[in-house]
Amino acid sequence: MAIKSHKIALDTTAEQSVFFSKQCGYSRFAYNYALSDYQDAPRHWEVLNNRFNKAKKGIDWTKELDQRAALFGIKHLGDAISRYKSGQNRFPKKKRRRNKQSYSTDPATTFIEGKRIRLPKIGWVRTFQKLRFKGEITKVTVSRTAHRWFVSITVDTGTPTAPRDTRGLPVIGIDVGINSLATLDTGKQYRNPRPLKRFEKKLRREQRSLSKKEYLSNNYYKQKRKVERIHYKIACIRNDAHHKATTEIVNMASVIGIETLKITNMLRNKHLAKALSDSALGGFLAMLKSKADILGIPIKEAPQFYASSKTCSSCGHKKEKLLLSERQYNCGACGISIDRDRNAAINLKHLAVGLAES
Residue 210 resides in a domain: yes
Domain span including residue 10: 3-156
- Give the angle subtended at the CA of 62 by the CAs of 56 and 65, to the nearest 5°: 140
297-342 pLDDT, tens per residue? 999 988 888 888 888 888 888 888 888 778 888 888 888 888 888 9
Task: Enter the pTM of the model.
Answer: 0.84
The helix or strand, by DSSP H or E, that contains position 249, with its residue range, turns out to be: helix 218-250
Residues 144 and 214 in one domain: no
Residues 247 and 325 in one domain: yes
Residues 188 and 126 in one domain: no
Residue 97 resides in a domain: yes
What pLDDT is stored for residue 305 in this prediction? 84
Q: Find, among 252, 269, 241, the residue nearest to 181 by Cα.
A: 241
**Residue 356 pLDDT greater than 60, yes or no:** no
Residues 111 and 9 in one domain: yes
Residues 208 and 345 in one domain: yes
Residues 149 and 210 in one domain: no
Residues 141 and 181 in one domain: no
- Residue 163's φ and ψ, nearest 5 degrees, are -60, 140
Residue that finishes a domain, picked among 156, 185, 212? 156
Top-confidence residue, 19 or 358: 19
Residue 165 resides in a domain: no
Residue 248 resides in a domain: yes
Residue 77 resides in a domain: yes
Residues 39 and 80 in one domain: yes
Top-confidence residue, 10 or 100: 10
Residue 180 resides in a domain: yes
CA distance 8 to 112: 12
Residue 166 resides in a domain: no
CA distance 237 to 245: 13
CA distance 353 to 171: 6
Residue that finishes a domain, picked among 156, 180, 205? 156
Q: Structural domain tally of the chain?
A: 2
Q: Find, among 191, 318, 310, 184, the residue nearest to 257 by Cα.
A: 184
DSSP letters along 275-328, please? Answer: HHHHHTHHHHHHHHHHHHHHHT--EEEPPTT--TTTB-TTT--B-S---TT--E
Residue that finishes a domain, picked among 156, 186, 215? 156
Residue 32 resides in a domain: yes
296 alpha carbon, distance to own chain's centre: 21
**Residue 355 pLDDT greater than 70, yes or no:** no
What pLDDT is stored for residue 168 in this prediction? 82
Mean pLDDT across the stretch 96-124? Answer: 92
**CB-based contact 173:184 (threshold 8 Å):** yes
List C-alpha distances in Å: 347 to 12, 174, 262, 263: 50, 9, 19, 21
**Mean pLDDT value across the chain:** 90
% of the chain surpassing 90 pLDDT: 64
112-167 pLDDT, tens per residue? 999 999 999 999 999 999 999 998 999 999 999 999 999 999 999 887 777 777 77
CA distance 223 to 202: 13
Residues 39 and 126 in one domain: yes
**Residue 92 pLDDT greater than 60, yes or no:** yes
Residues 197 and 336 in one domain: yes
Residues 203 and 325 in one domain: yes
168-190 pLDDT, tens per residue? 888 999 999 888 899 999 989 99
CA distance 212 to 209: 5
Q: How confident is the model at residue 358 (pLDDT cuts 50, 70, 90)?
A: very low
Spell 199-231 as b/e; 16+ CB within 10 A means b: beeebeebeeebeeeeeeeeeeeebbebebebb
Residues 187 and 143 in one domain: no
Query: What are the residues facing 7 on neighbouring strands?
Result: 152
What pLDDT is stored for residue 1 in this prediction? 55
**CB-based contact 30:61 (threshold 8 Å):** no
